[in-house]
Structure 1
Amino acid sequence: MQKNNITSTCLLLAALFCPLGSFAQQAPATADTRALASSPQWLTTKVYIEGAPQTDVKANYPGVVGISTWDPERNRYEFFYTDTGNSKYDNGGGGYFFVTGDQKSHILVPDVGPTKTVVRRLEKLNPNEFTYSREVPRDMIANNPLVRIYVVHAPYTGTVETKSTIKPDTNITN
């Protein structure tokens, strides 16, 4: 009983001397999920490895390069090939997404394909740039050491027409 009283007293004192606001973290000012809706399509413009932002390694990571669409109203995404505009849906390139409440993680849940969930660190999100990072095997080759890649996107203004596989009426249900 004495131990519980001491513990309670310490917790009460800690609460009085350390206001709750000091433990809260502010969300990054650059992260706004609505910014995904500022462009109907986004294009991968650069991929670089942590510590080497001056070196574009898109050619080594074709699986993360493409055109993407994001629908924040329905939390749906779809990825497309940049040369044909064909969908990557059947290979995990379409499904649901969400940004965590602290706006630090961007999570993909594909409808189909071998991958179940992909967690990406949200680096920057505004109407002009969408950048995430994640750890993958170097050059996307199994058994290679992990590296953190940064994938940079800008609003797509090119002429390739994308051919969506996701039906317009697909929406979140229980």
Structure 2
Amino acid sequence: MRRLTFVLAGLLLAGIFNPSKSYAQQAEPERDIRALASSPQWLTTKVYIEGAPEKDVKANYPGVVGISMWDPQRNRYEFFYTDTGRSKYADGGGGYFLVTGDRKTHILVPDAGPTRTVVRRLEKLDSSEFTYSREVPRDMVANQSTVRIYVVHAPYNGPIKTAMSN
């Protein structure tokens, strides 16, 4: 018992007189994530299939088209319909998001709805454009072959005003 007391006291003193050095570096601000906050609303401006950027196929993918809001302070998102401004929250259109440390992946974790997690490849994100891509069934029809779609957003300045549910 006495030996254990001396060992513990020695370790304590060693820690006090020889503090460990931290080699951790201060992380740079998450510029990409903060770019989402540069506009209160983002509008889907184009959807195209990989290899055919000249052809807009928004009409075939209405589930990814809309107005979106992003709150990087709370890592929250919410989607809205472009015609009415009504929230898509109850159908999985709202929840938490994150951008991975390598800034290549954008992950959505809905609060509600049938989908639990959506993983998207981050293509471009700055104050004028937010573009992601993901693989989905062609025309979003089950049992179709998968294609990679690119969904392009721009800051929205139109008449529809939205507010986050949570």
TM-score (norm 2): 0.80
Query: 1:83 and 2:97 equivalent?
Result: no
Query: 1:52 and 2:52 equivalent?
Result: yes
Q: How does 1:94-109 map to 2 (within 5 A)?
A: 94-109=94-109
Which residue in the other structure is 1:137 paired with?
A: 137
- What is the alpha-carbon distance in structure 2 between the residues aligned to residue 165 and residue 157 of structure 1? 20
Which residue in the other structure is 2:124 paired with?
A: 124
- What is the alpha-carbon distance in structure 2 between the residues aligned to residue 47 and residue 33 of structure 1? 22
CA shift for structure 1 position 160: 1.2
- What is the alpha-carbon distance in structure 2 between the residues aligned to residue 163 and residue 142 of structure 1? 32
CA shift for structure 1 position 32: 1.3
Offset from partner CA, 1:36-73 (integer Å, 9 cap, x none)? 01000000000000000000000000000000000000
Asked if structure 2 preserves the Cα contact closer than 8 Å seen for 1:110 and 1:116, the reply is: yes
Structure 2 unmatched runs, 5+: 1-30
| Structure 1 stretches of at least 4 aligned residues deviating more than 6 Å after TM superposition | none
Please tell me whether Structure 1 or Structure 2 has the larger radius of gyration of its CA atoms. Answer: 2
CA shift for structure 1 position 162: 2.0
Which residue in the other structure is 2:25 paired with?
A: none
Asked if structure 2 preserves the Cα contact closer than 8 Å seen for 1:86 and 1:164, the reply is: no
Which residue in the other structure is 1:153 paired with?
A: 153
Structure 1 unmatched runs, 5+: 1-30, 167-174
- What is the alpha-carbon distance in structure 1 between the residues aligned to residue 65 and residue 160 of structure 2? 14
- What is the alpha-carbon distance in structure 1 between the residues aligned to residue 138 and residue 40 of structure 2? 31
- What is the alpha-carbon distance in structure 2 between the residues aligned to residue 164 and residue 100 of structure 1? 23
- What is the alpha-carbon distance in structure 1 between the residues aligned to residue 139 and residue 112 of structure 2? 24
Asked if structure 2 preserves the Cα contact closer than 8 Å seen for 1:104 and 1:123, the reply is: yes
Offset from partner CA, 1:70-102 (integer Å, 9 cap, x none)? 000000000000000000000000000000000
SS for the counterpart of 2:37 is: helix
Aligned pairs, how many? Answer: 136
TM-score (norm 1): 0.77
Which residue in the other structure is 1:10 paired with?
A: none
Asked if structure 1 preserves the Cα contact closer than 8 Å seen for 2:69 and 2:164, the reply is: no
